[in-house]
Amino acid sequence: MTSYEAPLADMRFLFHGMGNLEAVNRLAGLEDATADLVDAVLDEADKLARERLAPCNQTADRTGGAKFENGVVRTSQGWTEAYDAFVAGGWNSVPFEPEFGGQGLPWLVAVALQEIWQSANMSWALCPLLTQSAVELLTAHGSHQQKSTWLPKLVSGEWTGTMNLTEPGAGSDVGALKCRAEPAGDHFLIRGQKIYITYGEHDLTENIVHMVLARTPNAPAGTKGISLFIVPKFLVDEDGTPGKRNDLHCVSLEEKLGIHGSPTCVMAYGDNEGAVGYLVGEENRGMEYMFTMMNNARISVGLQGVSIAERAYQQARAYARERIQGKPPTDGSGAIIGHPDVRRMLLTMRSMTEAMRALTYDLAAMLDISKRHAEEPWRTYADRRVGLLTPVVKAWCTDVGVEVASIGVQIHGGMGYIEETGAAQHYRDARIAPIYEGTNGIQAIDLVTRKLLRDDGTAALEYIEELQALINGMNARAEEDIAIIRHHFAAAVDALDNATQWLLDAGKDDLAEALAVASPYLRLFGTVAGGAMLARAALHCVTTLQDTSQERTELRDKLTVARFYAEQVLTQAPGLATTIAAGGKTALALSEDRF
């Protein structure tokens, strides 16, 4: 596996060139997030990733990762040292409020840092990902006492957090869960089993704070009867230190296709006297509260698609530059990077990765605006945009991340299929991301039902209007690259508009038919949204090149990448719209027993 270097030039292009950082550091409380400070933060993050996280990534994969021995989970070699350095550097606290030890920097910056951690070592980075989501949950819904007790250690990363939803009989259908919570004075006693709990047990920190969904006595059936509980590995004494061990333990670790370094645990609660749990908020509102944690995690999981794509691209590019095979028709070193089809694959990887990154960072900036803008209409607008694009980022980026990692294997040829190179690990690691935090099919259902049909398309049509304004802003440009990008982008936006209108009409008459084409619709939405980001980037590049006498090779490269995406990726949009307009009747035509 090749070494990793954070794509700092592209990150800074989005922060400074595209104005993402400027949009957030004028918000209340974020004024200190200056360009100089953020650049220094990115440099240090790159250093930690290169020196601590990336070196132990492949080692953990090839040795089988975390081990479960005598009831104890031990993480891979180098894991604890990397985590100690992470906590010592204050990295976990970046986006959180200073009241509980946070640094108060933008989520935009935190998302860029998460990309670096996930690219360097996705298995390791899953731990702080969930801790940060747990902090978001408690910040939004915890009592003052709960915040005072749990947030300082979670914000610092000295303790870690988990998300406990899934049970053997309750996966995507969370409402079927059977975990019980019985009142016992000022707390509850939790009994039940949870599966697929990422970092449910480990040796990185002295305490683990589990966020557990369970049912109280006489709770209504389904998701309306679910409550949320804080269930720590160790109860906390009055002085704030871990005390008595709680009645919970890891039963086993799952054997997985990828992310071997990450311990995925089967957890048992209350096998003896009952695990002590503290109710968050009100009874029967647990699913509502958990969505705060899940939506934060969904953005981070979408970012994993970006991260793995970037890592796979870096490795494929390095291999293509050094592998001598055949006689390329282009002038060059004789390496396979001279073959036209390899060039095409590399540009596909790069353009898709840059489109995903730009869309995810743009969403992160909207998240900051939704939380901090001084004017309520702007907060409402940004919150609506975050809601619309979260399922798109989660599903489209993770689907594309798998595809990009697969192309990386292809560029390696037979060596890509051999574990020695590490290319196959990226593919295996990437494959979980379309599944967890709500499968991508569920994200598509969410996009069509909650984000489209529920508000009669207000958020989606508002977004499409902005894309049409972007097209109009490209009209006056005479540059060939912009004209070609505009041509394909306009056709893609028309396809998205037509598909949206079709779903708004069809969903009212036959929801099943509409849901049968929900996934193609999400794919169309992501493809066009990514194209919009690269179209904006192309406009910025052309304007900057005209305003300077210096040749800016990196800007011309970005123009090429944007044009390639328009010609090779956006051209898929009309076909997806045709699929959607055909409806889902054929997909539903066979009875269950005919499959």
Q: What is the DSSP string of 23-70?
A: HHTTSTT-TT--HHHHHHHHHHHHHHIIIIIGGGHHHHHHTTSSEEET
**Residue whose tokens read 């590049």:** 541
The answer to whether the beta carbons of residues 227 and 209 sit under 8 Å apart is no
H helix and E strand count, the chain = 19, 12
Assign 347 a pLDDT band (cuts: 50, 70, 90).
very high
> pLDDT exceeding 70 applies to what percent of the chain?
99
Whole-angstrom Cα distance, residue 210 to residue 212? 6
| Mean pLDDT of all residues belonging to the chain | 95
pLDDT(307) > 90: yes
The listed range with the strongest mean pLDDT (5-14, 289-298, 579-588) is 5-14
Phi, psi for 271 (deg, rounded to 5): -65, -20
Confidence at residue 104, expressed as pLDDT on a 0 to 100 scale: 95
**How far, in Å, CA of 369 to CA of 378, rounded?**
7
Find residue 159's DSSP bridge partners.
Answer: none
pLDDT over threshold 80, residue 468: yes
Q: Mean pLDDT, to the nearest integer, of 343-357?
A: 98
The per-residue pLDDT for 333 is 77
Q: From 71, 66, 109, 358, select the one nearest 204 (Cα to Cα).
A: 66
Torsion, Cα of 443, 444, 448, 452 (10° steps): 60
Give me 565's structure tokens: 């995406």
Whole-angstrom distance, CA of residue 482 vs CA of residue 542: 8
What stretch of H or E contains 122?
Answer: helix 122-141
Q: Quick check: is 420 catalytic? A: no
Burial of 237 (0-12, 13-18, 19+ CB in 10 A): exposed
**3-class SS of residue 254:** coil
pLDDT of residue 550: 59
- What are the pLDDT digits (tens) for 164-182? 999 998 888 888 999 999 9
- Look at the block and give the residue holding tokens 């950082």: 21
Cα distance between residue 276 and residue 301, in whole Å = 30
Banded model confidence at residue 198, pLDDT cuts 50, 70, 90: very high
pLDDT at residue 173, as a whole number: 86
Q: What is the pLDDT of residues 32-71, one digit of tens each?
A: 999 999 999 999 999 999 999 999 999 999 999 999 998 8
For β-strands 208-214 and 160-164, DSSP reports them as parallel
Angle of the 286-322 helix axis to the 376-412 helix axis, nearest 10? 40
Angle (CA) 137-141-147 rounded to 5° is 80
Cα dihedral 301→573→19→17 (10° resolution): 100
Distance between CA atoms of residues 161 and 518, nearest Å: 33
pLDDT (mean) for 222-238: 96
Of the residues 310, 354, 403, 437, which is catalytic?
A: 437
Residue type, 43: D
E strand segments, 185-323: 187-198, 208-214, 227-232, 234-236, 242-245, 248-253, 264-269, 275-279
Which amino acid is residue 272, in one-letter code?
N
pLDDT digits (tens, 9 = 90+) for 116-137: 999 999 999 999 999 999 999 9
Residues forming a β-bridge with 194:
267
Give the whole-angstrom CA distance, residue 212 versus residue 126.
Answer: 18
Would the pLDDT of 383 be above 90?
yes
- Residue pair 321/335 in contact (Cβ under 8 Å)? The answer is yes
pLDDT at 476 over 80: no
